[in-house]
């Protein structure tokens, strides 16, 4: 198969082809330093503030053009291959009139210092293009990754309520057909390899070419969304000479519902997977909603969240509680392991040289299985968890017959609470003294550390509190009785409504 030694993306309606990009070049630097388009701002260079947000257009699995906000500071330039990039400088370029989102922001006094404004406008531009009548929760979600230090957000929310109202009529919607054609034309099915054997950005298009390339370069960094790797470049100033990007591998972004199980490809972003995941349980929808921000979920993948082995990733404990299995692949063959076995120790996973995560298989809940999951962090949105708890109980006649409990943030890896699980098995759910005893057992399963997010005492206290809360909630769910409110956020009836 032929190889393309350039990347191509659409800017201002025209395809741009670049042949000399570096593997560590970011989209933000390209915009600000190469193009000298300086409307897009750098606020934090780590994907947390959203000042650098731009809209990326791509053709989704239904063949439709879709816009998503991403943080350009941690998007590697090569990852834009085959996509359209729209920035604040493009939105009303050469036009007397403002875009409806810009116009609403002005009329509602949505800017003060104005530095976050370009990012906010671009984030809302993508919400506008969803063509839905956005309500307050949808707007809060869209803006979770856009920090504003001046306004307190109220006028921005009002501007969003007014402008993101379901009608889509701007010069980008008018150009929909031609943009779609241009993007389709760029999709040549060729592997991308820009650079030399020592220093390159590569974006293979098939599992076979990925496996082959990775076996030739087991020292390469495999990147899905770069929401973590991007920071190695911008913050640690590391030089990553070899980058293999997963975003173009056909089939790697699959999201399949096989009846009893979901199969999610390692290249599927949270944004692509969240709808399917929400069908398992509203708590999953809520946890996924609180992973990063809209921008992060548009780029970040569950596969990446697992593969990088962080002890504070939010999806691994949740998936471990659900008894998920992990697919691994390399040139020599494939294998599937239980997800919990993947995490060996801090910074150490069961992954061989040249082997990459291909997919995760997630069993759905049986009739008599109950899931509860809670994310606890200093701030509700766009924050890394102090701890993440996931409980799956199987009940028979109100008795626990099997328990899977996993926590993030409580150990060097996402880890099950083996002793506590044992303490729960056989327990009658009406036995509240038994709940307390089981909760105390958590101290034997975990010896968390103190850091800037939480102290070890807090982590243990909350872990116990969450187990008691889960048992309280499950006992009411199982018996169909009303419970007093138990949560200040992520109320299940609300999540269900949002998921629908």
Partner 1 sequence: MLKKASSPALNVGKATKHDSADRHVRGNALYIDDIREPRGTLHLAPGYARESCGKIKSLDLEVVRSAPGVVAVLTAADIPGLNDCSPSFGGDPILADDRIEFHGQVIFAVVAQSHIEARKAAKLARIEIVAETPMVTAEDGMARDASVLPTYEFNRGTPAETIKASPLSISDSFRIGGQEHFYLEGQVSLAIPQDQGEILVHTSTQHPTEIQHLIAKMLKIRDAAVVCECRRMGGAFGGKESQAAQWACLAALATHITGRPAKMRLDRDDDMIMTGKRHDFRCDWQAGFDEKGKISAVEVDFLARCGCSADLSLGVNDRTMFHADNSYYYPENRITSHRIKTNTVSNTAFRGFGGPQGMVFSERMMDAIAIKLGLDPLDVRRTNFYGGSGRDITPFGMKVEDNILEELVGELEQTSDYRKRRQEIAAFNAKSPFLKKGLALNPLKFGISFTLKHLNQAGALVHVYTDGSVQVNHGGTEMGQGLYTKVAQVVAEEFGIDLENVQITATTTDKVPNTAPTAASSGTDLNGMAAKLAAETIKIRLIDLAARLYQIEKSAVSFANNHVQIGQQKITFAELTQQAFLQRVSLSSTGYYATPNITWDRDSKSGRPFLYFAYGAACAEVTIDTSTGEMVIDRVDILHDVGKSLNPALDIGQIEGGFVQGMGWLTTEELVYDDQGRLRTHAPSTYKIPTASDLPEDFRVKLWDSPGNREDTIYRSKAVGEPPVMLATAVFSAITNAIASLKPGVLPQLSTPATPENILAAVKLMKSGD
According to CB under 8 A, which residues from 437 to 456 bind partner 1?
Answer: 451-455
Question: Does 264 interact with partner 1 (rule: CB under 8 A)?
Answer: no
Which window, 45-53, 60-68, 323-331, 417-425, contacts partner 1 (CB under 8 A)?
45-53
Identify whether the C-beta of residue 464 lies closer than 8 Å to the C-beta of residue 440.
yes
User: Among residue numbers 119 through 138, which ones bind partner 1 (CB under 8 A)?
Assistant: 121, 136
Q: Which is nearer to partner 1, 91 or 324 (CB)?
A: 91
Which window, 57-65, 115-123, 162-170, 205-213, contacts partner 1 (CB under 8 A)?
115-123
Q: Which is nearer to partner 1, 314 or 340 (CB)?
A: 314
Identify whether the C-beta of residue 400 lies closer than 8 Å to the C-beta of residue 420.
no
Binding residue (CB under 8 A) for partner 1 from 336, 381, 431, 498? 381
Identify whether the C-beta of residue 294 lies closer than 8 Å to the C-beta of residue 123.
yes
Question: Does 246 interact with partner 1 (rule: CB under 8 A)?
Answer: no
Binding residue (CB under 8 A) for partner 1 from 197, 488, 493, 500? 488
The number of helices, as runs of H, and strands, as runs of E, in the chain is 20, 21
Q: Which is nearer to partner 1, 66 or 383 (CB)?
A: 383
Question: Does 102 interact with partner 1 (rule: CB under 8 A)?
Answer: yes
Question: Does 465 interact with partner 1 (rule: CB under 8 A)?
Answer: yes
Which window, 272-280, 342-350, 369-377, 415-423, contacts partner 1 (CB under 8 A)?
369-377
User: Among residue numbers 11 through 40, which ones bind partner 1 (CB under 8 A)?
Assistant: 36, 38-40
Question: Does 485 interact with partner 1 (rule: CB under 8 A)?
Answer: yes
Closest CA to 39 of 94, 87, 86, 2: 87
Binding residue (CB under 8 A) for partner 1 from 268, 386, 400, 406? 386
Q: What is the b/e burial string over 370-384, where b = at least 16 CB atoms within 10 angstroms of the residue's CB?
A: bbbbbbbbeeebbbb
In angstroms, give the least distance from the CB of 396 to partner 1. 27
Q: Which is nearer to partner 1, 330 or 469 (CB)?
A: 469
Contacts (Cβ under 8 Å, ≥6 apart) of 472:
435, 483, 486
User: Among residue numbers 200 through 239, which ones bind partner 1 (CB under 8 A)?
Assistant: 235, 237
Q: How many degrees, rounded to 5, is the angle at CA 18 between CA 14 and CA 20?
A: 170
Which window, 12-20, 150-158, 194-202, 252-260, contacts partner 1 (CB under 8 A)?
150-158
Strand order in the sheet with 325-330: 255-257, 261-265, 356-363, 325-330, 333-338
Identify whether the C-beta of residue 315 lies closer than 8 Å to the C-beta of residue 300.
no
Question: Does 161 interact with partner 1 (rule: CB under 8 A)?
Answer: no
In angstroms, give the least distance from the CB of 315 to partner 1. 18
- Would you list the DSSP string of 291-304? SS-HHHHHH-BHHH
Identify whether the C-beta of residue 135 lies closer than 8 Å to the C-beta of residue 494.
no
In angstroms, give the least distance from the CB of 370 to partner 1. 18
CA distance 81 to 333: 29
Residue 326: strand pairing partners: 337, 360
User: Among residue numbers 293 through 322, which ones bind partner 1 (CB under 8 A)?
Assistant: none
Burial class (CB in 10 A: 0-12, 13-18, 19+), 36: exposed
CA dihedral 102, 108, 111, 117 (to 10 degrees): -30
Question: Does 281 interact with partner 1 (rule: CB under 8 A)?
Answer: no
In angstroms, give the least distance from the CB of 111 to partner 1. 4
Identify whether the C-beta of residue 292 lies closer than 8 Å to the C-beta of residue 385.
no
In angstroms, give the least distance from the CB of 258 to partner 1. 35
Question: Does 49 interact with partner 1 (rule: CB under 8 A)?
Answer: yes
Residue 261: strand pairing partners: 363
Question: Does 466 interact with partner 1 (rule: CB under 8 A)?
Answer: yes
Closest CA to 222 of 254, 253, 187, 266: 266
Question: Does 469 interact with partner 1 (rule: CB under 8 A)?
Answer: yes
Question: Does 422 interact with partner 1 (rule: CB under 8 A)?
Answer: no
Of how many residues is the chain composed? 500
Q: Which is nearer to partner 1, 92 or 173 (CB)?
A: 92
Closest CA to 417 of 392, 454, 394: 392
Binding residue (CB under 8 A) for partner 1 from 58, 75, 227, 382? 382
Question: Does 92 interact with partner 1 (rule: CB under 8 A)?
Answer: yes
Question: Does 484 interact with partner 1 (rule: CB under 8 A)?
Answer: yes
Binding residue (CB under 8 A) for partner 1 from 140, 394, 401, 477? 140
């Amino acid at each position: 198969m032929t190889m393309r030694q350039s990347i191509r993306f659409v800017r201002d309606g025209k395809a741009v082809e670049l042949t000399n990009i570096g593997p560590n070049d970011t989209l933000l630097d390209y915009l600000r330093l190469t193009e000298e388009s300086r409307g897009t701002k750098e606020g934090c260079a780590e994907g947390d503030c959203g000042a650098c947000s731009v809209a990326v257009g791509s053709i989704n699995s239904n063949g439709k053009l879709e816009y998503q906000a991403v943080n350009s500071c941690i998007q590697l330039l090569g990852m834009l291959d085959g996509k359209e990039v729209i920035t604040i400088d493009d939105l009303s370029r050469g036009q007397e009139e403002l875009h409806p989102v810009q116009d609403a922001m002005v009329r509602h006094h949505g800017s003060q210092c104005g530095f976050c404004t370009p990012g906010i406008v671009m984030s809302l531009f993508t919400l506008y293009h969803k063509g839905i009548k956005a309500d307050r929760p949808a707007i809060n979600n869209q803006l979770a990754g856009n920090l504003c230090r001046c306004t307190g957000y109220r006028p921005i929310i009002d501007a969003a309520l007014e402008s993101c109202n379901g009608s889509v009529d701007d010069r980008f919607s008018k150009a929909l057909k031609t943009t779609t054609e241009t993007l389709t034309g760029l999709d040549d099915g060729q592997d991308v390899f820009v650079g030399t054997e020592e220093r390159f950005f590569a974006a293979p298009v098939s599992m076979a070419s990925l496996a082959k390339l990775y076996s030739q370069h087991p020292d390469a960094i495999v990147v899905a969304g770069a929401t973590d790797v991007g920071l190695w470049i911008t913050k640690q100033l590391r030089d990553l000479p070899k980058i293999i990007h997963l975003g173009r591998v056909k089939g790697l972004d699959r999201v399949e519902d096989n009846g009893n199980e979901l199969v999610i490809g390692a290249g599927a972003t949270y944004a692509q997977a969240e709808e399917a995941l929400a069908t398992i349980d509203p708590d999953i929808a809520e946890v996924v909603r609180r992973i990063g921000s809209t921008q992060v979920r548009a780029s970040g993948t569950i596969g990446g969240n697992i593969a990088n082995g962080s002890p504070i990733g939010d999806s691994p404990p949740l998936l471990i509680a659900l008894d998920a299995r992990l697919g691994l692949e390399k040139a020599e063959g494939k294998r599937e392991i239980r997800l919990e076995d993947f995490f060996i120790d801090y910074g150490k996973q069961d992954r061989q040289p040249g082997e990459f995560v291909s997919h995760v298989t997630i069993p759905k809940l049986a009739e008599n299985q109950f899931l509860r999951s809670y994310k606890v962090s200093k701030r509700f949105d766009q924050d890394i968890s102090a701890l993440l708890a996931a409980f799956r109980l199987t009940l028979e006649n109100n008795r626990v017959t099997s328990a899977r409990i996993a926590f993030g943030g409580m150990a060097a890896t996402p880890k099950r609470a083996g002793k506590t699980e044992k303490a729960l098995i056989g327990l009658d759910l009406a036995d509240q003294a038994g709940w307390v005893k089981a909760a105390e057992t958590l101290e034997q399963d975990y010896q968390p550390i103190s850091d800037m997010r939480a102290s070890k005492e807090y982590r243990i206290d909350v872990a116990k509190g969450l187990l008691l809360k889960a048992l309280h909630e499950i006992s009411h769910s199982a018996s169909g009785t009303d419970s007093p409110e138990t949560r200040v956020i992520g109320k299940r009836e609300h999540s269900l409504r949002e998921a629908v």
